[in-house]
């Protein structure tokens, strides 16, 4: 398969009367054309059936999240019991940390990368404070070496050698939102486990972008959103992964709600919580069906394409982009040159007149992402970005004086 093979399944935003060069799927994925049909189906069923839709909608609402489970499990390399679609990303990080961040007086620190997405940083800091620890003391930053932009495993090993016995949890981004660096998830997990540390990942920039094997890699937990590479609409629901090792252990403490209760007795409205085994047992509320309908449309495309095939197609396009932009004097690429250490995003550091270049590209129909003070982030999303998209981008950069 080639990159962009599914382009005609998406609505492409128009600029100046033609298709934009949309390289912003890392921020908000495009709308699959089927979304309207699937959302409409839900609206029609609600109109015609009312509450009966829970059981009798064409896709009944009661088990609706289950329609997404297999596809979700395939995307992240999990057993179906290990994933569920629910809530939003930061909310899910907190719910997961409620279960897996279990500080003790000797072991209470949290390790996160220094360039983490701000919400993740706020989330881990607030967890530490919530348990009565001082942020300065409890949060350990995994930083790039001086004058570098990327983190490396040697630094992590050094931190663990010194402070490993005090660290309760590692929580880092699988693909860094700023640099596009794809971290070595299995190796980080292995290193953490060597020190008896719980290891979780934020996969907002990884899911739908790279293929993973979370179960085999023995990751403890993970969470992601569905509106970036998963193309499921602004603010749409996130997903979680909980390794079966924890999910099947019903004694793992959790913040609970009725949707995590045993399905066969949920509606007997008993006082005692009887958790579902697996990730489903972390659900709180009955979920919103309308955004799930959008996710269902998106998952069908991932199922057809296959995440491994998408990743392969993406490598070629990104390599072209990387090679072409490497020759530019204006641009320094922050993202790793090793294709195994990146997904479909490249982060371009433009030290001189970066904003002017960005504005020029925007006028010419490019939709990309600007990060102050001088970084342009672009992503060639393999479902809808073609080699032609990136060729056009490169020639616009080259023609800019
Ligand atoms: C996009 C993103 C978020 C956004 O969190 P929401 O709770 O969905 O608003 C958080 N963390 C990372 C790493 C992200 O990439």
Atom 1 in ligand 1: residue holding the nearest Cα: 204
Q: 117 C-alpha to center of ligand 1: Å?
A: 7
Shared domain for 290 and 320, answered yes or no, is no
Determine the structural domain holding residue 242 and report its residue range. Answer: 53-302
pLDDT in tens, 132-154: 999 999 999 999 999 999 999 99
Ligand 1 pocket test: pick from 90, 209, 234 the residue with the most ligand atoms within 8 Å of its Cβ. 90
Which residue, among 216, 146, 147, 210, has the nearest Cα to 173 in the 3D structure?
210
Q: In this structure, is residue 376 part of a structural domain? A: yes
Shared domain for 297 and 322, answered yes or no, is no
pLDDT in tens, 84-124: 999 999 999 999 999 999 999 999 999 999 999 999 999 99
Shared domain for 129 and 244, answered yes or no, is yes
Give the per-residue SS3 of the chain. CCCCCCHHHECCCEECCEECEECECCCCCCCECHHHHHHHHHHHHHHHHHHHHHHHCCCCCCCHHHHHHHHHHHHHCCCHHHEEEECCHHHHHHHHHHHHCCCCCCCCEEEEECCCCHHHHHHHHHHHHHCCCCHHHHEEEECCCCCCCCCCHHHHHHHHHHHHHHEEEEEEECECCCCCEECCHHHHHHHHHHCCCEEEEECCCCECCECCCCCCCCCCEEEECCCCCCCCCCCCCEEEEECHHHHCCCCCCCCCCHHHECCCCHHHCCCCCCECCCHHHHCCCCCCHHHHHHHHHHHHHHHHHCHHHHHHHHHHHHHHHHHHHHCCCCEEECCCCCHHHECCEEEEEECCCHHHHHHHHHHCCEECEEECCCEEEEECCCCCCCHHHHHHHHHHHHHCC
Q: 225 C-alpha to center of ligand 1: Å?
A: 7
Token look-up 């489970």 returns: 69
Shared domain for 160 and 27, answered yes or no, is no
Shared domain for 191 and 129, answered yes or no, is yes
Q: In this structure, is residue 153 part of a structural domain? A: yes
Q: Which residues have any ligand 1 atom within 6 Å of their CB?
A: 88-90, 117, 119-120, 173, 177, 202, 204-205, 225
Of 285, 302, 319, the residue at which a domain comes to its end is: 302
CATH of the domain at 379: 3.90.1150.10
Q: 47 C-alpha to center of ligand 1: Å?
A: 33
Q: 113 C-alpha to center of ligand 1: Å?
A: 15
Q: In this structure, is residue 47 part of a structural domain? A: no
Q: In this structure, is residue 42 part of a structural domain? A: no
Q: Which atom of ligand 1 lies at the shortest distance from residue 116's CA?
A: 13
CATH of the domain at 137: 3.40.640.10
Ligand 1 pocket test: pick from 180, 209, 225, 230 the residue with the most ligand atoms within 8 Å of its Cβ. 225
Q: 228 C-alpha to center of ligand 1: Å?
A: 9
Q: Which atom of ligand 1 lies at the shortest distance from residue 92's CA?
A: 7
Q: 40 C-alpha to center of ligand 1: Å?
A: 28
Shared domain for 214 and 99, answered yes or no, is yes
Of 302, 324, 357, the residue at which a domain comes to its end is: 302
Contact 229, 25 (CB under 8 A): yes
Shared domain for 101 and 248, answered yes or no, is yes
Per-residue pLDDT of the chain (401 residues; tens, 9 = 90+): 889 999 999 999 999 899 999 999 999 999 999 999 999 999 999 999 999 999 999 999 999 999 999 999 999 999 999 999 999 999 999 999 999 999 999 999 999 999 999 999 999 999 999 999 999 999 999 999 999 999 999 999 999 999 999 999 999 999 999 999 999 999 999 999 999 999 999 999 999 999 999 999 999 999 999 999 999 999 999 999 999 999 999 999 999 999 999 998 888 888 899 999 999 999 999 999 999 999 999 999 999 999 999 999 999 999 999 999 999 988 999 999 999 999 999 999 998 999 999 999 999 999 999 999 999 999 999 999 999 999 999 999 999 87
Shared domain for 265 and 362, answered yes or no, is no
Q: In this structure, is residue 1 part of a structural domain? A: no
Atom 2 in ligand 1: residue holding the nearest Cα: 204
Q: How many domains does the chain have?
A: 2
Shared domain for 379 and 282, answered yes or no, is no
Shared domain for 353 and 298, answered yes or no, is no
Shared domain for 156 and 271, answered yes or no, is yes
Atom 15 in ligand 1: residue holding the nearest Cα: 204
């Amino acid at each position: 398969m080639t990159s962009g093979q599914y382009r005609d399944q998406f609505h492409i935003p128009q600029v100046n009367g033609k298709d934009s060069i949309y390289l912003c799927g890392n921020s908000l994925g495009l709308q699959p054309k089927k979304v309207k049909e699937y959302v409409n189906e839900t609206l029609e069923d609600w109109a015609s059936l009312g509450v009966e839709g829970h059981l009798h909608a064409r896709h009944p609402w009661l088990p609706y999240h289950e329609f997404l489970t297999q596809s979700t499990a395939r995307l992240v390399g999990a057993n179906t019991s290990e994933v569920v679609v629910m809530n939003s990303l930061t909310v899910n990080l907190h719910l997961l940390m409620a279960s897996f961040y279990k500080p003790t007086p000797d072991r209470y620190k949290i390790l996160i990368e220094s360039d983490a997405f701000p919400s993740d940083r706020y989330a881990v800091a607030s967890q530490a404070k919530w348990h009565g620890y001082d942020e300065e003391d409890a949060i350990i930053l995994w930083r790039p070496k001086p004058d570098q932009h990327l983190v490396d495993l040697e630094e992590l090993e050094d931190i663990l050698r010194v402070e490993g016995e005090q660290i309760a949890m590692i929580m880092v981004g699988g693909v860094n939102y700023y640099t596009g660096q794809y971290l070595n998830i299995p190796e980080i997990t292995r290193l953490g486990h060597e020190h008896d540390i719980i290891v979780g990942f934020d996969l907002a920039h990884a899911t739908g972008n790279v293929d993973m094997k979370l179960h085999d890699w023995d990751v403890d937990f993970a969470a992601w959103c569905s509106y970036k590479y998963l193309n499921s609409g602004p603010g749409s629901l996130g997903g979680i992964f909980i390794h079966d090792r924890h999910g099947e252990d019903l004694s793992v403490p959790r913040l609970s709600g009725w949707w995590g209760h045993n399905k066969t007795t949920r509606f007997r409205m008993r006082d005692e919580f009887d958790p579902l085994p697996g990730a489903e047992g972390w659900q709180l509320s009955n979920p919103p069906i309308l955004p799930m309908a959008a996710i269902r449309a998106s998952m069908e495309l991932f199922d057809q394409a296959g995440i491994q095939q998408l990743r392969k197609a993406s490598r070629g396009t990104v390599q072209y982009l990387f090679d072409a932009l490497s020759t530019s004097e204006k641009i320094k690429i922050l993202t790793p040159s090793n294709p195994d250490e990146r997904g479909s995003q490249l982060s371009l550091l433009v030290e001189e007149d970066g904003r002017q270049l960005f504005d020029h590209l925007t006028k010419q129909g490019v939709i990309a992402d600007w990060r102050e003070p001088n970084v342009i982030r672009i992503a060639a999303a393999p479902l809808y970005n073609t080699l032609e998209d990136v060729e056009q981008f490169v020639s616009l950069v080259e023609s800019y004086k």
